[in-house]
């Protein structure tokens, strides 16, 4: 019986992951279409960039409402709601003739993605026991990277054949298919197989809807994890924002070659996520793995912006994505254990999501300002400091025993 339930858990998980992937494509479709959008709507770079960065703002706004939605209506309804809102936004966007309407549609899409970032990990917590969550959490953590890769791969042919509306329509169709698939096959387990419910709850007539959601906000460990992911995201997204300009100063590579190198980093992260998942399932001291990973990431991100060796850059492209992926996977894996009670896991996820989006919002502009005013070495130190703080936060966290 246990083996059968585990197999069913993977089926449900992958239908949910497909739903998350479809929304990741919705989120990331704007970046490769920016030149086309700038021409079509006659907008400047700042406005075009806002079409991409607006998701960080909506992610911050939706952190706690998303958790409340998951707890009040359940994971399946929350995920289907996320898909519906995002699809509505994409539909409006596809037929937008004015930039402000397109911006509004992106906000709607962001609300959908914000809900999904809470509901997806909550689905993993429900389906898998703690000692088996490493792999599915790692795979879930890769959904945004896969969506980014797909968006960039399909963008060129769709933009050339159908314009930016073709790219929007592609992500809409993908999300509708994901919604149909999840509604058909995303059957959640009964309470006796629900690992998000504690043993005490299983023996009492208490439903998750009656739980005080905000009780988990008082948990210091969840705040520390949110801070860890915030400082890590600060460094990670600061890196991706400025690595191409720095490499162009000494490699002699063309912008296209540098772009391919950066893209290769994120393609590698997809494969690394699966490998890391197996590692996390095998070695359960995830906190220690995360601390070591963050410290190695610190060295790598500093070297990236101080080296002048092309050989170092080539090695960096292979090594860096492993530790960039490791940081995210560890945070997702330990997140449920930062909550004092299993039923507060969604609150812990909300705090972590809040941290991620604040880091994404602050990393590029702050590191860019430091680089512009004080040089690349100062920028490298700023980004390195972020992951030192992330390692310190993990060191201070006390995880709930499982």
- Over residues 170-198, the pLDDT tens digits come to 999 999 999 999 999 988 887 666 776 65
**What residue spans in the chain does CATH classification 1.20.1250.20 cover?**
2-185, 213-396
Choose among 327, 361, 362: nearest CA to 55.
361
**Is the pLDDT assigned to residue 242 strictly greater than 90?**
no
DSSP 3-state of 74: coil
Average pLDDT score, the chain: 87
Q: Do residues 112 and 82 touch, judged by C-beta distance below 8 A?
A: yes
What is the band of 226 on the pLDDT scale with cuts at 50, 70, 90? Answer: very high
pLDDT of the residue at 334: 92
Q: Write out the two tokens for 209.
A: 């809807």
Q: What is the mean pLDDT of residues 316-342?
A: 91
Least confident stretch, 26-35, 93-102, 313-322: 26-35
363: which residues sit within 8 A by CB, 6+ positions away? Answer: 233, 234, 235, 236, 237, 238, 241, 383, 386
Q: What CATH number has the domain spanning 213-396? A: 1.20.1250.20
**Is the pLDDT assigned to residue 206 strictly greater than 70?**
no
Max avg pLDDT among 11-15, 199-203, 215-219: 11-15
- Core vs surface per residue 78-93: b (16+ CB within 10 A) or e: bbbbbbebbbbbbbbb
How far apart are alpha carbons 257 and 253 in whole angstroms? 6
Other residues' Cβ atoms within 10 Å of the Cβ of residue 109: 29
Q: What is the mean pLDDT of residues 51-76?
A: 84
pLDDT of the residue at 383: 95
pLDDT digits (tens, 9 = 90+) for 246-287: 998 989 888 778 877 887 888 898 889 999 999 998 888 999
Helix, strand, coil in percent for the chain, rounding step 5: 85, 0, 15
Please tell me what DSSP assigns to residue 98. S
What percentage of residues in the chain have a pLDDT greater than 70?
A: 92
Fold observed for domain 2-185 = Growth Hormone; Chain: A; (1.20.1250)
Q: What are the distances in angstroms from CA 188 to CA 1, 15, 77, 162, 390? A: 16, 11, 11, 39, 34
Please tell me what DSSP assigns to residue 401. P
pLDDT of the residue at 57: 84
φ, ψ at 252 (rounded to 5°) = 80, 5
pLDDT digits (tens, 9 = 90+) for 93-108: 999 999 999 999 999 9
**Diameter over CA atoms, the chain:** 67
Q: What are the distances in angstroms from CA 75 to CA 167, 232, 297, 354, 372? A: 29, 27, 34, 19, 45
pLDDT of the residue at 198: 52
pLDDT of the residue at 192: 61
């Amino acid at each position: 019986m246990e083996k059968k339930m585990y197999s069913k858990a993977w089926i449900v998980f992958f239908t949910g992951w497909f739903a998350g992937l479809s929304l990741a494509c919705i989120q990331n479709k704007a970046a490769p279409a920016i030149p086309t959008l700038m021409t079509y709507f006659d907008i400047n770079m700042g406005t075009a960039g806002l079409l991409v960065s607006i998701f960080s703002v909506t992610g911050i706004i939706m952190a706690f409402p998303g958790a409340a939605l998951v707890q009040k209506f359940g994971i399946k309804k929350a995920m289907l709601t996320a898909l519906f809102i995002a699809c509505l936004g994409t539909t409006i966007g596809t037929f937008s003739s004015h930039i402000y309407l397109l911006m509004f549609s992106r906000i709607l899409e962001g609300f959908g993605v914000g809900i999904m970032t809470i509901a997806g990990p909550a689905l993993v917590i429900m389906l898998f026991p703690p000692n088996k969550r490493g792999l599915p959490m790692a795979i879930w953590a890769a959904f945004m990277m896969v969506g980014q890769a797909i968006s960039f791969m399909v963008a060129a042919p769709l933009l050339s054949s159908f314009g930016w509306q073709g790219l929007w329509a592609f992500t809409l169709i993908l999300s509708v298919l994901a919604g149909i698939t999840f509604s058909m096959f995303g059957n959640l387990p009964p309470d006796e197989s629900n690992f998000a419910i504690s043993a005490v709850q299983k023996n009492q007539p208490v439903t998750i809807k009656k739980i005080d959601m905000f009780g988990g906000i008082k948990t210091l460990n969840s705040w520390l994890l949110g801070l860890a992911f915030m400082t890590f995201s600060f460094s990670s997204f600061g890196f991706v924002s400025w690595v191409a300009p720095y490499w162009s100063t000494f490699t002699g590579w063309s912008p296209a070659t540098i772009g391919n190198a950066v893209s290769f980093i994120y393609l590698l992260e997809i494969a690394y996520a699966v490998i890391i998942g197996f590692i996390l399932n095998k070695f359960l001291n995830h906190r220690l793995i995360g601390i070591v990973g963050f410290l190695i990431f610190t060295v790598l991100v500093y070297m990236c912006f101080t080296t002048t060796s092309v050989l170092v850059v080539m090695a960096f492209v292979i090594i860096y994505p492993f530790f960039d992926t490791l940081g995210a996977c560890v945070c997702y894996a330990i997140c449920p254990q930062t909550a004092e009670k299993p039923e507060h896991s969604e609150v812990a996820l909300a705090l972590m999501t809040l941290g991620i989006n604040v880091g994404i919002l602050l990393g590029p502009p702050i590191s860019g300002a430091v680089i512009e005013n004080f040089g690349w070495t100062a920028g490298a130190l700023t980004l390195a400091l972020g992951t030192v703080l992330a390692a310190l936060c993990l060191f201070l966290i006390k995880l709930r025993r499982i």
